């Protein structure tokens, strides 16, 4: 159950990144200011990756921290 | 029992009380708020069935209460994460009892504000077209992206510092146990876990500040990138951000004062916290007035006919009352009351804060409606009056906000318990050594190499 939050986080981040990718494809297909679309994508993508990455770091870090305490003699 | 002889758990017992003991007042208030929300839902179903004709919006005013409330609620969201992140980043020690409430405001208000563009659509199903044919170079889509990013970042930023407190609730056996067990992620407070938590909080607080600023800047672009008199302005970005922080602090103060009284948090939320926040409110009031003055003076000085027509519509036309009331509530009242120590009491801060929240809502009204009511083309102009549907949906949004806050307080501590404990245990010593570090070194203290001072 605890992995659920981890999976949801990455599902959300991946969903947004796929959406951004799709919008870039639409811009190419309609020859509709692709350069601007690319520029805005480059700004937005790191934000989602950082949020998902931080939550993953917390998730793994807290589990390891708890396990270390349990295995300590 | 004296304060110092109590065990830490006993000392902070009042912070657990709202979670573990729920009175009849809670259920009564929740039921009342729920009734308001349900009436709003009923009105929305009516609007969905009959179309936007049930609202007061018509040509030329096609944006009314929904867009005003969207800008207003998203603005309030700056209370939380931004203020909390800035105070944490500056190591302002007085932040400890405040940050959690500020962060909760952000999460709830972003959800409510984000729903408003959907309410504004006569055919909400067309929202799905964004996923199919969205144009990423449109400011409207920047808004969607920025608000989603801000919501994601601020929810994580609310949740991560809450983990030690959730673990405390788990260890006390508070119900529902499965919830606290699930959300505490096996927190035991080990040094490694503390290190991970602090590092994650540092990353998030640095991330959240530019995201928060970008959100309201992008909202201002919806207006500023339109060639409409009264909207097409270069200072709209900072003007919106300042207004958002200003209304956010006002809302935070209202929430703090109300919940301090209801949950008896007088020992935690002291006059010093209100005094410090009200000084911030005063500073924001002055900056807000400076930007408003600049915005109107440059428009007036240019004497461009369309710009002047919109301006006169606000200053002496049908929107004169909300305009001057806005100036009174956002500038005259805060400066008159908050600039003197004698009048900076909790009841007067409450009055000013409510005034600022109302005044900032009026500011959103003054920005959105008059520019549409006085179009470039020759078109019969008339003031906009909201219908019962719009008013009930506004009331429902406000009720949903209070209800959301109450439900949060029922499950999680409104004041960060572990941060209060940390403050007692570590911060006093840490803060005094930090202050000592600001003072000049004694003449005989050896100067470390590479500090920029001339070597002897």
Higher-confidence residue of A46 and A69: namely A46
Burial of B199 (0-12, 13-18, 19+ CB in 10 A): middle
pLDDT tens string B140-192:
888 888 888 889 888 988 999 999 999 999 999 888 899 999 888 889 888 99
Token digits for A17? Answer: 């990144």
ipTM of the complex: 0.85
B445, pLDDT greater than 80: no
In this structure, what are the phi and psi dihedrals at residue B451, rounded to the nearest 5 degrees?
Answer: -95, 5
**pLDDT at residue B4, rounded to an integer:** 46
Which of A24, A33, A66 minimises the CB distance to B186? A66
Q: In this model, does residue B454 exceed pLDDT 70?
A: no
pLDDT of residue A72: 57
Residue A37: per-residue pLDDT:
83
Contact list in A for residue B131 (CB cut-off 8 A) is 19, 22
Q: What is the pLDDT of residue B322?
A: 95
Mean pLDDT of chain B: 89
Mean pLDDT (whole number) for B219-243: 91
- A20/B351: higher pLDDT: B351
The reply to whether residue A23 touches residue B197, judged by beta carbons under 8 angstroms, is no
> What is the average pLDDT across B248-254?
95
Q: Which residue of B has its CA nearest to A25?
A: B133
How far is residue B298's CA from residue B375's CA, in Å, rounded to a whole number? 20
How much of chain B, in percent, has pLDDT values that exceed 90? Answer: 59
What pLDDT, in 10s, does the model give residues B14-30?
899 999 988 899 999 99
What are the tens digits of pLDDT across the range A8-60? 888 988 998 999 899 889 889 988 888 888 888 888 888 888 888 988 898 88
Taking an 8 Å cut-off on Cβ atoms, the answer to whether B149 and A51 are in contact is yes
Closest CA to B383 of B447, B454, B317, B449: B317
Which pLDDT value is given to residue A8? 84
Q: What is the pLDDT of residue A2?
A: 60
pTM: 0.90
CA distance to B148, B248, B262, per residue, from B243 (Å) = 21, 8, 29
Q: A16 to chain B: which residues are within 8 Å by CB?
A: 145, 148
Whether residue B48 is predicted with pLDDT greater than 90 in this model: the reply is yes
Percent of chain B surpassing pLDDT 70: 96
Residues of A in contact with B133 (CB under 8 A): 26
Mean pLDDT of B235-264: 94
Contact predicate B24/B424, CB 8 Å: no
Tell which A residues from 19 to 48 touch B, by Cβ distance under 8 Å. 19-20, 22-24, 26-27, 32-33, 36-37, 40-41, 44, 47-48
- The two three-digit tokens of residue B312, written as one number: 């006169």
Burial class (CB in 10 A: 0-12, 13-18, 19+), B370: buried
pLDDT of the residue at B323: 96
Of A16, A51, A65, the CB nearest to B190: A65
Please, is B126 exposed, middle or buried when counting C-beta atoms within 10 Å of its C-beta (0-12, 13-18, 19+)?
exposed
Q: Which of B179, B231, B195 is nearest to B19 (CA)?
A: B179
Q: In the structure, what pLDDT confidence band is assigned to residue B452 with cuts at 50, 70 and 90?
A: low
Hey, what are B443's tokens? 């003449």
The residue whose two tokens read 């801060």 is B349
Q: Best mutation site among A26, A38, A42, A50 for testing chain B: the one with the most B CBs within 10 Å?
A: A50
* Environment class of B384 (CB within 10 Å of its CB; exposed 0-12, middle 13-18, buried 19+): buried
Inform me whether the C-beta atom of residue A1 falls under 8 Å from chain B C-beta atoms: yes
Query: What sign results for the dihedral spanned by CA atoms B261, B263, B265, B269?
Result: negative
pLDDT at A71: 63
* A62 to B134: CB separation less than 8 angstroms, yes or no: no
Interface residues of chain B, partner chain A, Cβ below 8 Å: 131, 133-137, 141-142, 145, 148-149, 152-153, 156, 160, 163, 182, 185-188, 190-193, 195-197, 199-200, 203-204, 207, 211
For A23-37, B272-286, B320-334, which range has the lowest pLDDT when averaged over its residues? Answer: A23-37
The two tokens of residue A12 are 């959300």
Segment B62-110, tens digit of pLDDT = 899 999 999 999 999 887 777 888 888 888 888 899 999 999 999 999 9
Q: How distant, in Å, are the alpha carbons of B22, B270, B277 from that of B412?
A: 13, 21, 24
Q: Which residues are CB-contacts of B60 (< 8 A; sequence separation ≥ 6)?
A: B372, B373, B375, B379, B381
pLDDT tops 60 at residue B455 = no
Tokens 């003449």 correspond to B443
Work out the average pLDDT over B420-428: 86
3-state helix, strand, coil split of chain B in percent (to 5) is 75, 0, 25
B142, B153, B196: residue with CB nearest A40: B142
Nearest-CA residue of chain B relative to A47? Answer: B149
**Cα–Cα dist B456/B442, whole Å:** 17
Q: How many CB pairs under 8 A join A and B?
A: 105
CB atoms B197 and A62 under 8 Å = yes
């Amino acid at each position: 159950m605890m992995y659920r939050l981890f999976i949801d986080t990455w599902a959300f981040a991946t969903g947004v990144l796929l959406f951004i990718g799709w919008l870039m494809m639409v811009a190419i297909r309609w020859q509709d200011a692709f350069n601007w679309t690319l520029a805005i994508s480059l700004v937005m993508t790191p934000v989602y990756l950082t949020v998902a990455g931080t939550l993953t770091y917390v998730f793994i870090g807290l589990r390891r921290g708890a396990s270390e305490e349990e295995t300590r003699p | 029992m004296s304060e110092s002889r109590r065990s830490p758990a006993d000392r902070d017992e009042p912070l657990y009380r709202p979670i573990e003991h729920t009175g009849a007042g809670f259920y009564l208030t929740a039921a009342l708020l729920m009734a308001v929300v349900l009436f709003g839902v009923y009105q929305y179903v009516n609007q969905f069935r009959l179309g936007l004709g049930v609202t007061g919006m018509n040509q030329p005013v096609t944006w009314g209460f929904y867009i005003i409330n969207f800008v207003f609620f998203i603005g309030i969201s700056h209370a939380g994460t931004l203020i909390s992140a800035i105070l944490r980043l500056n190591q302002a020690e007085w932040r400890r009892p405040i940050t959690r409430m500020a962060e909760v405001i952000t999460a709830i208000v972003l959800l409510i504000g984000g729903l408003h563009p959907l309410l504004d659509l006569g055919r909400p199903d067309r929202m799905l077209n964004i996923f199919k044919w969205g144009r990423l170079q449109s400011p409207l889509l920047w808004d969607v992206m920025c608000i989603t990013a801000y919501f994601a970042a601020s929810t994580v930023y609310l949740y991560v510092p809450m983990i030690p407190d959730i673990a405390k609730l788990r260890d006390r056996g508070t119900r529902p146990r499965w919830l606290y067990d699930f959300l505490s992620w096996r927190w035991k407070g080990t040094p490694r876990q503390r290190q991970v938590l602090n590092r994650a909080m540092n990353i998030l607080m640095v991330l959240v500040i530019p995201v928060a600023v970008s959100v309201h800047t992008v909202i201002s672009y919806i207006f500023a990138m339109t060639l409409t008199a009264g909207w097409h302005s270069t200072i709209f970005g900072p003007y919106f951000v300042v207004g958002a922080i200003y209304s956010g602090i006002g809302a935070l103060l209202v929430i703090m004062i109300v919940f301090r009284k209801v949950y008896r948090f007088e020992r935690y939320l002291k006059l010093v916290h209100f005094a410090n926040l009200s000084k911030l409110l005063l500073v924001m009031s002055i900056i807000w007035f400076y930007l408003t003055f600049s915005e109107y003076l440059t428009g007036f000085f240019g004497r461009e006919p369309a710009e002047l027509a919109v301006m006169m519509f606000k200053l002496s036309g049908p929107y004169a009352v909300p305009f001057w009331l806005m100036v009174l509530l956002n500038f005259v009242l805060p400066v008159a009351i908050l600039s003197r120590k004698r009048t900076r009491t909790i009841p007067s801060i409450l009055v000013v804060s409510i005034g600022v929240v109302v005044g900032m809502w009026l500011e959103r009204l003054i920005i959105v409606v008059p520019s549409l009511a006085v179009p470039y083309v020759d078109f019969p102009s008339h003031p906009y009056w909201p219908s019962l549907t719009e008013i009930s949906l506004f009331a429902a949004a406000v009720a949903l906000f209070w209800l959301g806050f109450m439900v949060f307080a029922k499950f999680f501590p409104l004041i960060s318990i572990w941060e209060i404990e940390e403050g007692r245990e570590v911060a006093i010593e840490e803060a005094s050594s930090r202050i000592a570090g600001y003072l000049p070194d004694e003449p005989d203290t050896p100067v470390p190499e590479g500090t920029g001072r001339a070597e002897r």
